Structure 1
Amino acid sequence: MDNLTHGLVGALIGQAGLKRRTGLAMPALIFGANLPDIDAGCVVWGTESLAMRRGLTHGPIALVLLPLALAGFLWWFDRWQARRGTRPDTRLPVHFGWLFALAFLACLTHPALDWMNVYGIRLLEPFSHRWFHGDILFIIDVWLWAMMGLGLILSLLREKRRGNWRTPARAAIAGALAYIGVNAGITAKNEADGALYAQMREMTKSEVIALPLPIEFWRRDLVVGGNGAWFKKEAIGPDDALLAPISDHICKFPDPRIGSANRPDVAAFLFWSQAPFALRNPDGGVTIHDARFFDERTRGQFSVYLPDTPCIPLR
């Protein structure tokens, strides 16, 4: 998910009452909720960054070491301010154990949220390179923003007026969890429909992926297939519409060992892709896409071109 969503989750956890456990609890929660995204800098490597993101910094070792480092820094910072005489008098005493516990809790919310979209996460890195994706939420969900943002604002306003500031934050967390549950049900229903379509087409060992849409959280596109052959059903189509080939120009998927030879960008793309397929390029060769990101908004960002690979029509 986007960093605003992660930050709102951390802030709401604090406003729900946990920020009273130690001084500097809110920085521990907000920064902790975003800390696994320190790997974002690797985007300077372009396509190769697909193999670097949402891996090592989102895995079990990092989810212990990153909160430990954050807690250590905040503990040091508090003492540094005290030595300089700039420590705020209103700050609660800082307890390292609570700082670590809160940063750890916040860090855990990060992979939980990242798992909910179709991009996925390597949850067990470095012990396993397997990708996990829940297909529940679009990567930027404005409804979550609105719900959690409103809860946070109301909580802060009540706190300023010395009212019950915990209740709005807790209500926002409960509402967000309910919203996620509803979306999980919508995804499960759509993926069950996709499995039925696959059976009708006698597509064995097919993967079914529901694609949440921006804004219209109740809609899902569907992609179904495998082995380089993918079919798609648009959410805007009639309810009884069957799957159609994702393109009329699909090629037989090239041998990954040949396609990725001396091409780190291709190797990275194939490592990341969960639904790869090859498309005939008008200028010759083939372009490899991912069926999850083949709409007009994203296909240019998630593809690699193999100019010397001939297109063998998929039969």
Structure 2
Amino acid sequence: MDSVSQIALGAALSVGVMGRRTAVWKAALWGGIAGTLPDLDAIINHGDPILNMVRHRAESHSLLYLTLLSPFLGWGLARLQGNMTLWKRWTLAFWLALFTHPLLDVMTVYGTRLLLPLTDYPYGVGSIFIIDPLYTVPLLIGLGAALVLKSVRGLRWNWVGLALSTLYLVWGIAAQAYVTKLAQASLKESGIQAERLLVNPTAFNSVLWRMVAMTPDAYYEGFRSLLDEKKQITWRQYPRCDALARFATSNAGVAAIAKFSHGFYSLGQQDGRLTVTDLRMGQEPYYFFRFDVSNENVARAVGQRPDIATALPWLWTRLTGHDVPLPAADHAGRSIQDVQLERCGYSIKNRGDEIDSGAGKTR
């Protein structure tokens, strides 16, 4: 999750644990610091953008390592403040702030290695977007009340904020399960035999969901809003560019993205150079994590971000249940499929198909 959410969660938990045993602002300050501490690994430069990506949320997000660190932080702060009677309380406050950081991160799709050193598997539920105001605002309101009121009533508001934010996480899991069931039924109806399916929310909300289905030679992207009236899901097909796989058989960058993305990746070419894209974060044709891997030694980030002035209005319109076209054509006005096919080195006339699961036909 974003830093604001992690700071707010750590601060709220610390205030809840410490109660009136210390000043509320002190509990909030140290809890907020602990809440963002694991993300300091982001400042480490491994000399390669792919390594920077896949090594984020690693050792610093290990539940075991963070648990071992907590008593030292609790003892150190109690010693610093000259009140050793509170070291166990501070240890618990630090542990909760640190321990919940990777647990919250794992709810996003990115990938968190929270079970190191037992396994380096990057876990990611994908039931909440990395920035979601509906999760963060209750925490901030409850924490703000605790800081302003400085009373038992304020502490109760803090617990209410924690409860509401937790319930929102539960809602996200339930909504994801519901949309996943709809997507699986739609794929079956459309005759798409998917090897794997990804379902995660679009930016800043848990109402509009993006789905990616992988097949041996293509991937399909679809969107489903909980406010949609029609049951059909429109799947847009894009080539995986497997013809380029022979150029990537021994490419370390491609292998790293393939593993980290759990197979949700595609190959391409840009100006004659091999690229690899993590399909989990972004939407066609804009992806945050696309890399030029032509140089075997050092990759180069070539990801794109959408135009906010266009993307946000589309997001709101689609979220409210209106099936509008994607805000994604290149500067020459070509379709997304044409641009992707060109990246694969195919002719534009060999276009990708658009499948409407309710129409029972390919168009």
Structure 2: how far apart are the matches of 1:140 and 1:41? 20
Check 1:252–1:59 CA distance in 2 against 1; reply closer, same or farther (3 A cut): farther
CA deviation after TM superposition for structure 1 residue 275, in Å: 3.7
User: Quick check: 1:98 aligned with 2:89?
Assistant: yes
The two structures, once aligned, show a CA RMSD in angstroms of: 3.3
CA deviation after TM superposition for structure 1 residue 73, in Å: 3.1
Structure 2: how far apart are the matches of 1:189 and 1:106? 31
3-state SS of paired residue (1:57): helix
Aligned length: 296
User: Quick check: 1:243 aligned with 2:231?
Assistant: no
User: Quick check: 1:191 aligned with 2:180?
Assistant: yes
Alignment match of 1:304 (pick from 280, 291, 302): 291
User: Which has the bigger relative contact order, CA under 8 A and spacing at least 6?
Assistant: 1
Conservation of the 8 A alpha-carbon contact between 1:223 and 1:231? yes
Task: Provide, for residues 126-150 of structure 1, a one-character-per-residue CA deviation record: whole Å limited to 9, x for no partner.
Answer: 2112121111111011222322211
Structure 2: how far apart are the matches of 1:268 and 1:308? 15
Q: Give the aligned partner of residue 106 of structure 2.
A: 115
Alignment of 1:125-274 (within 5 A): 125-159=116-150, 162=151, 164-204=153-193, 206-227=195-216, 229-235=218-224, 239-245=231-237, 247-248=238-239, 250-252=241-243, 254=245, 258-260=249-251, 263=252, 265-274=253-262
Check 1:233–1:9 CA distance in 2 against 1; reply closer, same or farther (3 A cut): same
CA deviation after TM superposition for structure 1 residue 50, in Å: 1.7
Conservation of the 8 A alpha-carbon contact between 1:228 and 1:277? no
CA deviation after TM superposition for structure 1 residue 266, in Å: 3.9
Alignment of 1:80-91 (within 5 A): none
User: Quick check: 1:292 aligned with 2:280?
Assistant: yes
Conservation of the 8 A alpha-carbon contact between 1:115 and 1:134? yes
CA deviation after TM superposition for structure 1 residue 199, in Å: 2.7
User: Quick check: 1:11 aligned with 2:3?
Assistant: no
Structure 2: segments with no counterpart, 5+ residues: 297-342, 353-363
TM-score relative to the length of structure 2 = 0.70
Check 1:199–1:29 CA distance in 2 against 1; reply closer, same or farther (3 A cut): same
Task: Provide, for residues 50-89 of structure 1, a one-character-per-residue CA deviation record: whole Å limited to 9, x for no partner.
Answer: 221111111233122332342243234224xxxxxxxxxx
Task: Provide, for residues 211-233 of structure 1, a one-character-per-residue CA deviation record: whole Å limited to 9, x for no partner.
Answer: 21223321101111255632110
Alignment match of 2:59 (pick from 32, 52, 56): 56
TM-score relative to the length of structure 1 = 0.80
> Amino acid of the residue matched to residue 158 of structure 1?
L
Q: Give the aligned partner of residue 82 of structure 1.
A: none
Check 1:308–1:41 CA distance in 2 against 1; reply closer, same or farther (3 A cut): closer
Q: Give the aligned partner of residue 320 of structure 2.
A: none
Structure 2: how far apart are the matches of 1:62 and 1:226? 38
Q: Give the aligned partner of residue 74 of structure 2.
A: 71
Alignment match of 1:32 (pick from 13, 31, 34): 34
Check 1:274–1:21 CA distance in 2 against 1; reply closer, same or farther (3 A cut): farther
Structure 2: how far apart are the matches of 1:167 and 1:193? 39
Q: Give the aligned partner of residue 359 of structure 2.
A: none
CA deviation after TM superposition for structure 1 residue 2, in Å: 1.0
Q: Give the aligned partner of residue 84 of structure 1.
A: none
Check 1:271–1:200 CA distance in 2 against 1; reply closer, same or farther (3 A cut): same
Task: Provide, for residues 274-311 of structure 1, a one-character-per-residue CA deviation record: whole Å limited to 9, x for no partner.
Answer: 24433442533542112212426951x41223449995
Check 1:73–1:266 CA distance in 2 against 1; reply closer, same or farther (3 A cut): farther
> Amino acid of the residue matched to residue 71 of structure 2?
L
Structure 2: how far apart are the matches of 1:308 and 1:150? 49
Conservation of the 8 A alpha-carbon contact between 2:258 and 2:265? no
